Structure 1
Amino acid sequence: MAGIGFELKKLFKNRGLMANVRAYLYSIFVTVGPIVISVVVITLLQFLLKNIGIERYKREVLQATIMYSFIFSVIFVSGYCMMLSRYLSDRLYLGKKEDVLPALYGSLSIILIISGIIGFVFYYRSPLNTIYKFFAYLLFVELIIEMVLSVYISAVKDYKRVAYSFLYGTLLAIMTGYILMTYTILDKILSVLIAFDLCILVVIILLAYEIQKYFREKSTLYFNFIKYFSDFYLIFCTNIFYTVGLYAHNFVFWGLPEMNHIVENTYVYAPSYDIPSFYAFLSIIPTMVMFVVKVETAFYEKYRNYFYLINNGACYEDIEVAKNEMKNVIFKELVYIMEIQLFFSIGFMILGIKLLPFIGFTSNMIDMYNILVLGYYCVIIMFVIMTILLYYDNKRNACLVALNFMITSFLFTFITINIAESYYGLGFFIAGLVSVIFAIVQLIVYFNNIEYNIFCVQVSWKEKSGGFLSELIDRINKIGG
């Protein structure tokens, strides 16, 4: 976030409409750029398949392959990336830049072994063509590598080169897909999958080059970051719970016989629910952008000033003024984000009713889409509050919010699907509503007792010595050296 924040502050210093437009466009790219690019690439390649007359069931194979690769790569790596992000931030803060690149190598080696085995076992039993399975497996692995690299990208200040990396990958994928489908005898869905693999591979190569160019120094502490799992396991759990909660309602529908669809005895999904869920998810993009802008340009300044006064022995009156200013900014910007996102959510619902029938949505799918938009509205506000709690190192309550969301997402979806078809999607909305209320209560309670939480409940920053894990990691690092 630091690299993003510095750039945003520079852009917002310039007054005028165009300066603000540039700042928001920059925010859109760094926050949701990969999502938008992936959607564009997949949509264009699917459009090509449909236009050249490829059967629907073959397009479903490709759709399921990409969906599974994205969902399970995110789930497997989300908590892991959270830990890496914390480790990277601490190394940079302490000025130990030489430890950053070795942690990348060490983390990739571990996560690729674990996820690689899981992916191999999954595709080993699949009756899909062996060549197709290889490229499907490759996509899953590539997405995991890209997500790990994305942790490091925020520390690389040259965002233009990062933008070009995604742009080059996108253009190459579209051209390659078109050439393979038009001028070769390869199976058409295999051609698209190869093109998408190539897109992610190009992005990985270019991002890895930028990261290695920025972090030139190297130590021998390849696995030092593993120690963070014992000290900050709540951060790891928070991201895992939140990510699983995002897809829990989909998983419940995958197990519903009248809704699920089995593709080539490999993939199970519920297209009549998953597709409305995907489009509803896109409605929260405005908050993903606004939150970064508001945190880095409004909240962070008050936050930093408050702790600066505490750490430098300011008088009680000044600290109290700074605290009230910080609290006012947080709640003011939170209400602002809620209002703007509500405006966009209603807009998405209106547009969905008018436009989605043109791409095959039935009336039941429209109803599910509308209730899911409201559900995602609650979820993204919950995510904002959860992130604010983590800003204050309130890991326990942030983890409780994420755990509550995961459990209620499973529970209420399971309950509502057993009532009637008209209740489909309502379970996710109730889970989001319960979770956002729970998160708001946690935030209010924290700020009502902020002095106690800051001065009496903070963990010791002294490094822990001893312990089997620390000793084991030290020995592994020495061997690596």
Structure 2
Amino acid sequence: MAGIGFALERMTAGRSLSSTAGAYLYAAFLVAGPWIFTVLAIAGVSAAACTAADCLGLQVFRSIMIYNTCVTAILTGPLAFVCTRYVSDHIWMKRYDSITFSFAASFAVFVIAALLVGVPFYVWMTDLSGPEVLAALQNLMLVGAAWLLIPFIGATRGYLTVSAAFAVGVTVMVSALVLAPGEEPVRLLGVFNLGLFIIDLGLAWRLAREYGLALVPDRELLRTAGIYWELPLIGLTFACGLWVDKLIMWAAAPIGVSTVAIGLRTMPTYDTPMFWAQLAALPIFAVFFVHVETNFFRLSRAYYGSLAQQVSRRNLSKMRLRMSGFVVSKVFTLFLSLAVIALIAILISFVAIEPLGLRASQMGILRAALVGMVFHTSAVFCFVFLLYFDLRRYALGISVTYFVLNGLMTSALLPLGFSFFGYGNLIASAVTLMLAITILARELPWLDFHAFITNNTSLRTERRRVAGSAPRASDGPGS
């Protein structure tokens, strides 16, 4: 799945500063394009659409955007993890005919689930007008489509299409806000939806050009979700872990909760620092995507490819040690890089917190969020390596641990007051990182065992065949 990564890595090898910067920018948009676009939209609207601090239209727009981002992350998480596995397996086998169908099927499932959640909520739980409800539901579909398209585009080398789509979408959105500013939620959502539609259209065009428009049904997609049943659970718990602390704060925080349109509850004093902290990790994610993932792919391909070439045990051990050393060194290096970014952000916040839309009272939450970002993002890198090794149950354990701890610690510290906001996420992230490092360090020496036994599909097939043909205890001699 390192398709675009290889192309971007070649760009960074050149002498041009612009090509290097462009490669990392492309990687950031591919990793979290819809999230970046959402934050840019909220920030841009805040600056251009309304000058009053209590602008109701802006608050409604902001709340709808946050709710839709939360819902799409939770609903697309399981689908994206399954589709990523399906697409990578089929590209490896050079079977491309059903890839477009897999996107259409996953998007159809998302649309049904999103409508079942979004329509009752916006119609009966809020007092939004009819046009506002339609615009909110349209936004829900467009954001979900963007998140689902990313796993498919990540397998191609169409980085120019990705960058052009995001550039045009952002330009259209910003131009519309500057040329005709306004504060009505319908208008703000319409402008954002137009920009996002252009992005989705560009990504879908690249998908169609790469794999065609033919929808060839394939039951293997459903079989993938069944065989690798851990993947949808990983996607669900991973997304829920990112949002559970916000949901708890919205529902139970004693102070700072903002309610608009009756049912849209958010907590800007908590949400904004957490969002900025998550964005601070994007440069390191881009480095991981461009360099670490591509180099790891080469090492893992050499290691697993040698299994079919009757490699000697000594050479296999050398390749395993080389790959294990690479993983350990990169996790440590990425952790240090994240720590440096968090430290710089904390220092900058002392003198430039207002440009981020924050107040001095939110600095404590921002610092806790930045430290938590270092721990959580490092845990995510360990989590990704475990998925590369196909150790899905360990990855599931990490995502479930973070989800449960983030919810429990946020709830436990909530009665202690404003000074402890954000520390539940920090503690959950730190514990999750320790667990992730422990599991990764324990399993790296056992990669040979996992390759030959744990993840050996022929052995699993044989075990199922033997289990199916074995006589049952209830079967007597004459049965």
Q: Amino acid of the residue matched to residue 331 of structure 2?
A: L
Q: Is the 8 A contact 1:413 1:427 kept in 2?
A: yes
The equivalent position to 2:420 in structure 1, one of 414, 420, 423, is: 423
* Alpha-carbon distance, 1:16 to partner: 7.8
Residue correspondence of structure 1 range 40-79 to structure 2 within 5 A: 40-51=40-51, 53=52, 55-79=54-78
2:473 is aligned to none
Q: Secondary structure at the match of 1:361?
A: coil
2:307 is aligned to 310
**Which segment drifts farther, 297-306 or 429-438?**
297-306
* Alpha-carbon distance, 1:433 to partner: 0.3
Superposed CA deviations along residues 133-186 of structure 1, whole A, max 9, x for unmatched, are 11011101111112212222123322212211111222222233345547xxxx
How far apart, CA to CA, are the structure 1 residues paired with 2:294 and 2:440?
Answer: 21
Residue correspondence of structure 1 range 32-431 to structure 2 within 5 A: 32-51=32-51, 53=52, 55-125=54-124, 126-181=126-181, 188-216=184-212, 218=214, 220-221=216-217, 224-255=220-251, 256-357=253-354, 361-431=358-428
Unmatched tracts of structure 1, length 5 or more: 467-481
Q: Is the 8 A contact 2:34 2:147 kept in 1?
A: no
Instruction: Name the CA shift for 1:67/1:453 in 2 (closer, same or farther; >3 Å).
Output: same
How does the TM-score come out when normalised to structure 2?
0.90
Q: Amino acid of the residue matched to residue 64 of structure 1?
A: S
How many residues are aligned here? Answer: 461
Q: Secondary structure at the match of 2:265?
A: strand
How far apart, CA to CA, are the structure 2 residues paired with 1:412 and 1:93?
Answer: 42
Q: Secondary structure at the match of 2:350?
A: helix
How far apart, CA to CA, are the structure 2 residues paired with 1:337 and 1:38?
Answer: 26
Q: Amino acid of the residue matched to residue 67 of structure 1?
A: I
2:470 is aligned to none
Residue correspondence of structure 1 range 453-464 to structure 2 within 5 A: 453-460=450-457
How far apart, CA to CA, are the structure 1 residues paired with 2:344 and 2:70?
Answer: 27
How far apart, CA to CA, are the structure 1 residues paired with 2:396 and 2:49?
Answer: 43
How far apart, CA to CA, are the structure 2 residues paired with 1:21 and 1:60?
Answer: 34
How far apart, CA to CA, are the structure 2 residues paired with 1:17 and 1:146?
Answer: 29
Superposed CA deviations along residues 392-449 of structure 1, whole A, max 9, x for unmatched, are 0000100000000000000111111123432221111100000000000000110133
How does the TM-score come out when normalised to structure 1?
0.89
Q: Secondary structure at the match of 1:96?
A: coil
* Alpha-carbon distance, 1:225 to partner: 1.2
Superposed CA deviations along residues 317-337 of structure 1, whole A, max 9, x for unmatched, are 211111111111111111111
Superposed CA deviations along residues 34-55 of structure 1, whole A, max 9, x for unmatched, are 443433233222211224x584
Instruction: Name the CA shift for 1:192/1:348 in 2 (closer, same or farther; >3 Å).
Output: same
Instruction: Name the CA shift for 1:284/1:177 in 2 (closer, same or farther; >3 Å).
Output: same
Instruction: Name the CA shift for 1:166/1:461 in 2 (closer, same or farther; >3 Å).
Output: farther
1:5 is aligned to 5
Q: Is the 8 A contact 1:262 1:269 kept in 2?
A: yes
* Alpha-carbon distance, 1:258 to partner: 2.5
Q: Is the 8 A contact 1:180 1:191 kept in 2?
A: no
How far apart, CA to CA, are the structure 2 residues paired with 1:245 and 1:131?
Answer: 32
The equivalent position to 1:449 in structure 2, one of 446, 451, 454, is: 446
Q: Amino acid of the residue matched to residue 166 of structure 2?
A: F
* Alpha-carbon distance, 1:100 to partner: 0.9
* Alpha-carbon distance, 1:4 to partner: 1.6
Superposed CA deviations along residues 251-272 of structure 1, whole A, max 9, x for unmatched, are 1111224332221212111111
* Alpha-carbon distance, 1:311 to partner: 2.3
Instruction: Name the CA shift for 1:297/1:131 in 2 (closer, same or farther; >3 Å).
Output: closer
How far apart, CA to CA, are the structure 2 residues paired with 1:276 and 1:9?
Answer: 32
Unmatched tracts of structure 2, length 5 or more: 465-479
1:469 is aligned to none
How far apart, CA to CA, are the structure 2 residues paired with 1:23 and 1:173?
Answer: 23
How far apart, CA to CA, are the structure 1 residues paired with 2:416 and 2:34?
Answer: 38
Superposed CA deviations along residues 281-328 of structure 1, whole A, max 9, x for unmatched, are 122112211211332343222222222222211112211111111111
Instruction: Name the CA shift for 1:121/1:326 in 2 (closer, same or farther; >3 Å).
Output: same
RMSD: 2.4
1:440 is aligned to 437
* Alpha-carbon distance, 1:9 to partner: 4.2
Instruction: Name the CA shift for 1:95/1:461 in 2 (closer, same or farther; >3 Å).
Output: farther
1:471 is aligned to none
Instruction: Name the CA shift for 1:119/1:158 in 2 (closer, same or farther; >3 Å).
Output: same
Superposed CA deviations along residues 65-117 of structure 1, whole A, max 9, x for unmatched, are 11111111111111111111111111222222111112222222222112112
Q: Amino acid of the residue matched to residue 226 of structure 1?
A: L
* Alpha-carbon distance, 1:207 to partner: 2.0
> Equivalent pairs: percent with the same residue?
19
Q: Is the 8 A contact 2:368 2:423 kept in 1?
A: yes
Q: Is the 8 A contact 1:382 1:435 kept in 2?
A: yes
Q: Amino acid of the residue matched to residue 155 of structure 1?
A: A
Instruction: Name the CA shift for 1:358/1:212 in 2 (closer, same or farther; >3 Å).
Output: closer
**Which segment drifts farther, 116-125 or 303-312?**
303-312
